[in-house]
Structure 1
């Protein structure tokens, strides 16, 4: 029986979401469009198999096939990141990070991470996260120019003496200097943990420096710029750390792994290893540079005055409207983005004075620099007259027509 016949409500809602994704422009920096082949294996027979443990060390029988699948995913991941060890079982990036902490820390140990309001992530020690509740968390951030001051990080680390330093961000548009972070970690006797969830797809295409050999441990999501299924991974080069990570993930914080998702990760990694992937990642950088250039030319202030990666962060500290206002106005025009805090923030995290925009999803659809130029000017037009609903709806129709030239999914695929 088809989903349409069995559950018409979910079927119809799924088709509405398909239309939303195809007709609008997805510019949330952490979202992307995965491959149909990845979705095919996610919905496969593999969803039925329990496989607690690791390949050749399972607690259930009947795992001879899924052992081969997980081993393939591991080997592809290791090749992709040029590392000696990979755990592909974490259900998400947050759980991957939780696993790293559980492997290397004891409750109450000190961690030093990037402040959430400066572009860090909840799992880097924010007090509302378990990372800030189980461990004593301290923070570094960016300066008013939007960049990390590594000497200031060094100063904070020498005062705090953390057991682990987290580097990586969810809203930082510049290159992260892993070598400098490792020097700081060595100086204070800390582990260096790199969370590259946002930039992993650029890292594996050599469009951003690799955290290896500097980081003791590296985590990532497998979606975002990697364009795989939603999930997490952990990598390292040290055998003893690897054993601790495996134990921390299972049986530490997870039970049976999702074998359908692990297979989907393997499919995604195969794409990441291709020459086509390198072209895609390079196009992300080109498109983001065009987005930044147009916005600057139109009079908008970008945090750090530009970008080196897949995102830009616009500051509205010099404007009367907020990040939330901009988010809603763009949504009316069919552009999905997200409000974000900025250096020197004066508003609450629920309102903000900034907007984060990314190009990975549009690049996945095939948007080139000339198309991004059109989109960027539409964004500026909306922000220039932010209360003009008619303008927003007119632009929505214009962008819907543009989006129709870049069909990524069709109903027939599902």
Structure 2
């Protein structure tokens, strides 16, 4: 074993210690279980499994076929779906395959503006979705909320082929049934990207869009608390074959076999009462932390949050500077656009906070209120000894025991 290998092991150890000693409030992240990590590192990493169960390009896939079918069934149960493709490497590739199954190149997509909380893969001009399709946007209203009637007016005027519902920094909920009615009236397809809220949906805490959408996509590593990857769901039988061919060979070749095993374990873990209680605590923690910021005089895009995350506006300091100061003191979060933001992506007006990771560490009401006050104190330069307090708090709530 050469010296460089030992150096790499040292780097892994440093990263592991860092994660244990820092509070993670990044809304797009969570901690996968040890079981899912172990299974996703299995010997299936050696197997190339191009194609679908019982219809592979290469031989020797019989055992993997069993595992992939189990992952498919488990995800179908989880989301009350009749169809599931568990092969996408990421949420973005899931979206790409969904577009390919629903619309044609240069067709018009209607999605939320990026600065209002949309996602890069929903039509950002520098993303493939903005290059391959004709993208127009809707925005939040003056209260920073989705306005159903305003969106309906945009639909009637723009006449898109596809409406995308699903957001990366929106702290309220979507009325899926309303948009289903509108889509029928205007003959458009609906893609619901639930990457951020899928864990809350499969627990029954937020309405499931599966019966109100042509396709549902999600990542597996946010509130779903699995290993990294994506899945595609649908109850529209007419497009199941299109989805499969849109992903393979349309978007990717062989799936990451060992990751599908890890996804299967993650899905089984989410199909439990323990997971439902976990997601309930996420909502409680999210509301308490937001309330603490509001009490301290900060502004959010809304005075309430109905999911795991929220935005806090930074007035007197640069959000990228605040992000760095917090990281130095042991708190991880990300700078983010505030709705109708006039600033650039490098120095936007807000920070985004998510409570999934803290809740995975079993932190509850008192801890999240304390963390919110730590953040306020650091922004206001009132406390220079928070780093040690964070290390002590993290030690009380380890990620992996």
TM-score above 0.5, yes or no? yes
Shift of 1:6: 6.8
**Which secondary structure does the structure 1 equivalent of 2:178 belong to?**
helix
- Using the alignment, how far apart are the partners of 1:124 and 1:141 within structure 2? 13
Q: Are residue 400 (structure 1) and residue 396 (structure 2) matched?
A: no
- Using the alignment, how far apart are the partners of 2:342 and 2:238 within structure 1? 45
Find the counterpart in structure 2 of residue 135 from structure 1: 133
Deviations 1:326-362 (A, max 9, x none): 2122112110000111123121111011010011001
Find the counterpart in structure 2 of residue 103 from structure 1: 101
Q: Are residue 384 (structure 1) and residue 380 (structure 2) matched?
A: yes
Deviations 1:199-255 (A, max 9, x none): 000000111111121011000001011111100000001222111000011111111
Deviations 1:139-182 (A, max 9, x none): 11212322111111111111111111000000000011111222
- Using the alignment, how far apart are the partners of 1:207 and 1:323 within structure 2? 31
Is the 2:116–2:340 Cα contact (8 Å) retained in structure 1?
no
Q: Are residue 375 (structure 1) and residue 366 (structure 2) matched?
A: no
Find the counterpart in structure 2 of residue 164 from structure 1: 162
- Using the alignment, how far apart are the partners of 1:170 and 1:373 within structure 2? 24
Instruction: Give unpaired runs (5+ residues) of structure 2.
Output: none
Is the 1:342–1:353 Cα contact (8 Å) retained in structure 2?
yes
Find the counterpart in structure 2 of residue 335 from structure 1: 331
Find the counterpart in structure 2 of residue 409 from structure 1: 400
Q: Are residue 63 (structure 1) and residue 54 (structure 2) matched?
A: no
Find the counterpart in structure 2 of residue 90 from structure 1: 88
Q: Which one of the candidate residues 345, 350, 358 is aligned to 1:362?
A: 358
- Using the alignment, how far apart are the partners of 1:57 and 1:264 within structure 2? 22
Is the 1:119–1:172 Cα contact (8 Å) retained in structure 2?
yes
Is the 2:192–2:217 Cα contact (8 Å) retained in structure 1?
yes
Find the counterpart in structure 2 of residue 181 from structure 1: 179
Structure 1 runs of 4+ with >3 Å offset: none
Find the counterpart in structure 2 of residue 289 from structure 1: 287
Find the counterpart in structure 1 of residue 142 from structure 2: 144
The within-5 A match list for 1:112-131 is 112-131=110-129
Instruction: Give unpaired runs (5+ residues) of structure 1.
Output: none
- Using the alignment, how far apart are the partners of 2:218 and 2:49 within structure 1? 22
Find the counterpart in structure 2 of residue 205 from structure 1: 203
Deviations 1:360-385 (A, max 9, x none): 00100110111111111111111222
- Using the alignment, how far apart are the partners of 2:364 and 2:176 within structure 1? 30
Is the 1:143–1:343 Cα contact (8 Å) retained in structure 2?
no
- Using the alignment, how far apart are the partners of 1:51 and 1:39 within structure 2? 20
Find the counterpart in structure 1 of residue 306 from structure 2: 308
Is the 2:210–2:233 Cα contact (8 Å) retained in structure 1?
no
Is the 2:36–2:226 Cα contact (8 Å) retained in structure 1?
yes
Find the counterpart in structure 2 of residue 38 from structure 1: 36
The within-5 A match list for 1:221-370 is 221-316=219-314, 319-370=315-366
Deviations 1:279-318 (A, max 9, x none): 00000001001101111000011111121100010123xx
Q: Are residue 7 (structure 1) and residue 5 (structure 2) matched?
A: yes
Equivalent residue pairs, number:
401
TM-score (normalised: structure 1) = 0.95
Shift of 1:112: 0.4
The Cα RMSD (Å) is 1.3
- Using the alignment, how far apart are the partners of 2:182 and 2:7 within structure 1? 54
